[in-house]
């Protein structure tokens, strides 16, 4: 495995937190604390209404702005939804698709996740595609099968060329917001399984260059050990990304 060919990406997922004015302050603080830390890409995925002011505050800094979801149609009668073109014009470079909370509370399926990812890529956004097993699946010993199936279904129809703009975030559901973190060995093993599936779909070169993050209670205390693993190319961070000092320490861990 050649980790050095991949750029580490540390992304925050603010979820439904931060009003626009709070977002501007947090972006500025994060930018200040991560200034010059060019050893990884730094991304903050913010609520829709925060994107434009956050992107404005991030101009000329190390911080890139992302969204947390996108609709698959270009426009039309889809009340409450946001298109990829809208995100781009507001200043987003990245978008999360398939987050567990979308799958669990908003009825997202592998089919709709795939459609959203394809629409985002076609419009020119970079996609952070989330997948992972629930606790019962891990206990039943079928984690590898579950993440393999999700990887195949969620990437269906996405080309090798488009894979340059796809990041996979492995987020074991039992570790999200629970304080329970996968061990570095568990994270490395499953990220490795996902990489093998990508090799099967697209070949070894694409697999070696695809960024695969770990997410689930990653924080400034455990990031060093997780990021040291050969298959873990970064993190998707919820709670700790809301506190610029904590998030910046994770960015520091990614510089090594
Ligand atoms: P926590 O870091 O709060 O566990 O959230 C992880 C996550 O869901 C990131 O997308």
The residue contributing the CA closest to ligand 1 atom 5 is 238
Q: Are strands 166-170 and 40-45 parallel, antiparallel or unpaired?
A: unpaired
Q: Which of 106-110, 200-204, 252-256 has the lowest mean pLDDT?
A: 252-256
pLDDT in tens, 50-96: 999 999 999 999 999 999 999 999 999 999 999 999 999 999 999 99
pLDDT tens figures, 9-46? 999 999 999 999 999 999 999 999 999 999 999 999 99
- 3-state SS, residue 58: helix
Average pLDDT over residues 184-210: 97
d(CA 188, CA 204): 18
**Residue 169 alpha carbon to ligand 1 centre in Å:** 11
pLDDT at 127 exceeding the cut of 60: yes
235 close to ligand 1 (CB < 6 Angstrom): no
Contact 226, 10 (CB under 8 A): no
Among residues 99, 101, 108, 133, which one is catalytic?
A: 99
C-alpha closest to that of 166 among 118, 199, 237? 118
Residue 183, both tokens: 């061990």
Residues 2-12: what's their mean pLDDT?
87
Q: Whose CA is nearest to atom 7 of ligand 1?
A: 238
Which of 239, 242, 249 to probe ligand 1 with, by most ligand atoms within 8 A of CB? 239
pLDDT at 2: 56
The H or E element that residue 21 is part of is helix 20-33
Residues 6+ apart with CB under 8 A from 150: 110, 131, 132
Could you tell me the distance, in angstroms and rounded to a whole number, from the CA of residue 24 to the centre of ligand 1? 21
User: Is 71 considered catalytic here?
Assistant: no
Q: For the whole model, what pTM was predicted?
A: 0.97
> Ligand 1: which atom is nearest the Cα of residue 130?
10
Phi then psi for residue 147, to 5 deg, are -70, -30
The domain over range 9-244 is classified in CATH as 3.20.20.70: yes
Taking the domains of the chain in order of start, what are their residue ranges? 9-244
């Amino acid at each position: 495995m050649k980790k050095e060919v991949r750029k580490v990406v540390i992304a925050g997922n603010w979820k439904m937190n931060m009003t626009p004015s709070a977002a501007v302050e947090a972006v500025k603080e994060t930018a200040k604390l991560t200034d010059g830390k060019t050893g990884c890409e730094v991304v903050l995925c913010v609520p829709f209404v925060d994107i434009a002011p956050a992107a404005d505050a991030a101009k000329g800094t190390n911080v890139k702005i992302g969204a947390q979801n996108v609709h698959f149609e270009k426009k039309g009668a889809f009340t409450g939804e946001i298109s990829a073109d809208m995100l781009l014009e507001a200043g987003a470079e990245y978008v999360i698709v398939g987050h567990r909370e979308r799958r669990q509370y908003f009825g997202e399926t592998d089919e709709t996740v795939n459609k959203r990812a394809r629409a985002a890529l076609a419009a020119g956004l970079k996609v952070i595609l989330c997948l992972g097993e629930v606790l019962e699946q891990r206990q039943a010993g079928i984690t590898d099968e579950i993440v393999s199936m999700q990887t195949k279904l969620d990437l269906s129809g996405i080309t090798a060329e488009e894979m340059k703009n796809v990041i996979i975030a492995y987020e074991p559901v039992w570790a999200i917001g629970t304080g329970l973190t996968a061990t570095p060995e568990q994270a490395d093993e499953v990220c490795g399984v996902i990489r093998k599936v990508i090799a099967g779909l697209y070949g070894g070169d694409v697999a070696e260059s695809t960024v695969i993050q770990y997410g689930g209670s990653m924080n400034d205390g455990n990031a060093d050990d997780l990021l040291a693993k050969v298959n873990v190319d970064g993190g998707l961070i919820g709670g700790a990304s809301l506190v610029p000092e904590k998030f910046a320490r994770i960015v520091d861990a990614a510089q090594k």
